[in-house]
């Protein structure tokens, strides 16, 4: 799960400070998460769910359900390249 969160944040281009502003979770705690000093918890998952609801299922399971709107960043990127929205 942590690897997927890291991948998502990297793809988004958001900094830890941006994450703090948008989620209310301190940049320090995000940093601890990304360095493995803290484990993913419900607060992180809820924050990500609010920012990126389309990735919730993928973050938690590593799987996608495109027919339900639950995708991964890779699927979204492919859609953008192909010019398809949904």
Q: How far apart are CA 30 and CA 62, in angstroms?
A: 20
Q: What is the pLDDT of residue 5?
A: 96
For 59-82, how does the pLDDT look when each residue is reduced to its tens digit (9 = 90+)? 999 999 999 999 998 898 888 888
Residue 9, pLDDT > 70, answer: yes
The pLDDT score that the predictor gives to residue 79 is 85
Look at residue 83 in the predicted model and tell me its pLDDT: 82
Q: Is 70 helix (H, G, I), strand (E, B) or coil?
A: strand
CB-based burial of residue 59 (10 Å sphere; 0-12 exposed, 13-18 middle, 19+ buried)? buried
Q: What is the mean pLDDT of the chain?
A: 93
């Amino acid at each position: 799960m942590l690897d997927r969160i890291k991948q998502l944040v990297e793809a988004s281009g958001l900094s830890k400070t941006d994450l703090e502003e948008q989620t209310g979770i301190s940049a320090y705690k995000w940093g601890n998460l990304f360095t493995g000093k803290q484990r993913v918890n419900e607060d992180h998952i809820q924050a990500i769910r609010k920012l990126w609801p389309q990735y919730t299922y993928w973050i938690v399971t590593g799987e996608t359900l495109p027919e339900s709107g639950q995708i991964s960043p890779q699927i979204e990127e492919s859609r953008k390249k192909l010019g398809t929205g949904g």
